[in-house]
Amino acid sequence: MGGIELHSRLAKEKREAAHDEFIKGRYTVVGDLTIKAVEQAIEALASLEDLHFHVHPKSAHARRIRWFKKRFPELSGYIDMLWGAYGTLGYEGINGDRAKKALEAMEVILN
């Protein structure tokens, strides 16, 4: 199972890739990568409590978000916006404004 080092490295890699894909205009990919970057960051923090959501893939997304919102309620709206952008970009990927908002939400959460 990955610990904080592995998940932090993966979060950083996906964060950088999200910005690269935005520059290239690949907005559906931005939606995927922003949520994945945040999920890896959540896994990194949770691993400090010996929690590893990814070992139960069926419930991992919901459990991660529930854990995150409980510990960081002030960021709850940003994670909701990010999931909304993820869904929208998956179906309407040509929306550069929505991709930009996803990047902004990701940055607030990760910073």
Please report, in tens digits, the pLDDT of each residue of the chain (111 residues total).
578 999 999 999 999 999 999 999 998 899 899 999 999 999 999 999 999 998 888 999 899 999 999 999 999 999 998 888 877 776 665 678 888 999 999 999 999
Structural domains in the chain, sorted by start: 4-110 (1.20.120)
What's the pLDDT tens digit per position in 38-48?
999 999 999 99
Can you give the pTM of this predicted structure?
0.89
Residues with Cβ within 8 Å of residue 38, at least 6 apart in sequence: 11, 79, 82, 106, 109, 110
Could you tell me if 86 and 34 are in contact, meaning their C-beta atoms sit under 8 angstroms apart? yes
Q: What pLDDT is recorded for position 34?
A: 95
Q: What pLDDT is recorded for position 106?
A: 96
Q: How far apart are CA 38 and CA 8, in angstroms?
A: 10
Q: What pLDDT is recorded for position 87?
A: 75
Q: What pLDDT is recorded for position 3?
A: 86
